Amino acid sequence: MLLFDCHLDLSLNAVDFNRDLRQPVAAIREEEQGMTDKKGRGAGTVAFPEMRRGGVGLCVATLIAGCMKPGGVASGWNSPQQAWAQTQAQLAWYRAMEEAGEMRQIRNLADLNSQLELLGKAGGEVPDGAPIGYVLSLEGADSILTPGHLERAWEAGLRAIGPAHYGVGRYALGHDQEGPLSPEGEDLVKEMDRLGFILDVTHLCDRCFWDALDNFDGPVWASHSNCRALVPDPRQFEDDQIEALVERGAVIGAVFDTWMMAPGWVRGKTVREEKGVTLEHIVEHIDHICQIAGNALHVGIGSDLDGGFGLEQSPLGLDTIADLQKLAGILSQKGYSEADVKGIFHGNYLRFLREAWAARR
């Protein structure tokens, strides 16, 4: 089944981790044996061959470089100019992958329909050598020098922005902080709205979440977030936040980072084999969102696989991104219809993009 993954840090892995994603996962793991410079070395799960084998013919692919203090992975640059330069290096990698025929940027409805036509001819599979379609997103807005630079980013194909990542950002506070959007953050969100960007509310602290919604009238999604009712941590959404997103027509991407899937996980200490977090745990989050919404129209997949971690922080039953296909059977056993499963796998995010981009046109 065609799978739309709403959050993959592909350029982070290519540029920051120096991974050639054209190679199979097994080859990348072999090359990294003995390396300890970054978390997840020798344990990656994402590469183009496995994406194609797993039906991931469309995704949201990120740029990521921030100035937050303290910063998360790839986000501790000492100036906006340095962060901007890093995102431009990542953008250059995407362009190189387009030139090599590995990827295809999706900027508008025509691009989306063309990619779906290509995949449709293959019966929803992603043929070997076929380009993987990607919508470009920015995780954490610190690299945007000023709100006035957003127009330049739009022209380069950027279509979605999450104003915050971790820590204290230039425009917004990450989920591990608390406080309002800065005045510059309000300006950023309003300019995003004017230009037609998608607002990604993932990673925003609670106050910034509500401030962002108050200052933005356009399309909103959450690329990779789970439910605080199941994992009591500010990284997840409270039920009233989920309700607000449903009211705005948002789609929430279920994230497969194990510390966000089950309570009690301590990053760097918990061993996945001992904790026993499986793909069934993510279905609990998906079902919780569906129960709040009263339907299965507002949830999708935003795996975040290899988002600064590897197998050590991925659920049991998942060796590579191709194993996300197992989710279809688990959802069916839970009682979800074939139409529901297709919506969760790809239909909900496709509907969202069609509506968002048709409104802009």
8 A C-beta contact, residue 323 and residue 277: no
The residues with which 104 forms a beta bridge, in sequence order, are 133
pTM given for the model:
0.97
Q: What residue type is 129 in one-letter code?
A: G
Residue 361 in this model has a pLDDT that exceeds 80? no
Q: What is the mean pLDDT of residues 149-174?
A: 96
Average pLDDT, the chain: 95
H or E, element range at 80: helix 80-99
d(CA 46, CA 102): 14
In this predicted structure, what is the pLDDT of residue 127?
Answer: 85
Residue 134 belongs to what domain range?
A: 4-360
Residue 162 sits in a domain of what CATH number?
3.20.20.140
In this predicted structure, what is the pLDDT of residue 124?
Answer: 60
Kindly report, residue by residue over 202-242, the tens digit of the pLDDT. 999 999 999 999 999 999 999 999 999 999 999 999 999 99
Q: What is the mean pLDDT of residues 29-38?
A: 96
Domain count, the chain: 1
Kindly report, residue by residue over 234-270, the tens digit of the pLDDT. 999 999 999 999 999 999 999 999 999 999 999 889 9
In this predicted structure, what is the pLDDT of residue 101?
Answer: 97
pLDDT range class, residue 131, cuts 50, 70, 90? very high
In this predicted structure, what is the pLDDT of residue 122?
Answer: 62
Percent of the chain residues past pLDDT 90, beyond the cut: 92
With b meaning 16 or more CB within 10 Å and e meaning fewer, what string describes 59-77?
A: bbbbbbbbbbeebbbbbbb
